[in-house]
Amino acid sequence: AQTVTQSQPEMSVQEAETVTLSCTYDTSESDYYLFWYKQPPSRQMILVIRQEAYKQQNATENRFSVNFQKAAKSFSLKISDSQLGDAAMYFCAYRSARVVVNKLVFGAGTILRVKS
């Protein structure tokens, strides 16, 4: 079974600075998808960024980018120019590309605090 590990329960960053959240995963599959979701205090889950495993290029979405290391099974999220609104719990998630397997497997989450 696939597992997702987020080893940082909490992280802090100064406003306007850069922070990196770690995520590793374990799978025997070669084709899959990886995601970062954000859950602010409102508890609404918001998709931050996605990465297809077959793509070598790291995904970017404005201030958010990932460092996808397939061989190392690592998928870290970098947030640049951190803003107060970035404060939230961040979840890394894995999904198999096999159509019959629809589930998202989530990591334990990392609480990100942004200091002004």
Among 44, 56, 62, 116, the residue binding other proteins under the rule CB under 8 A is 44
Q: What is the DSSP letter of 59?
A: P
| Residue 11 in contact with other proteins, rule: CB under 8 A | no
Quick one: CA torsion of 6, 109, 34, 75, rounded to 10 degrees?
Answer: -30
Among 30, 43, 56, 116, indicate the residue that binds other proteins (CB under 8 A).
43
Indicate whether 91 belongs to the interface with other proteins (CB under 8 A).
Answer: yes
Return the residue of 70, 73, 78, 95 that touches other proteins, per CB under 8 A: 95
Closest CA to 23 of 113, 114, 110, 112: 110
Structure tokens at 77: 């999220």
CA dist., res. 53 & res. 33, Å (int): 6
Query: Can you tell me which of 12, 26, 31, 104 binds other proteins, judged by CB under 8 A?
Result: 104
Residue type (1 letter), 31:
D
Residue numbers of the site for other proteins (CB under 8 A)? 33, 35, 42-47, 50-52, 89, 91, 95, 97, 102-104, 106-109, 111
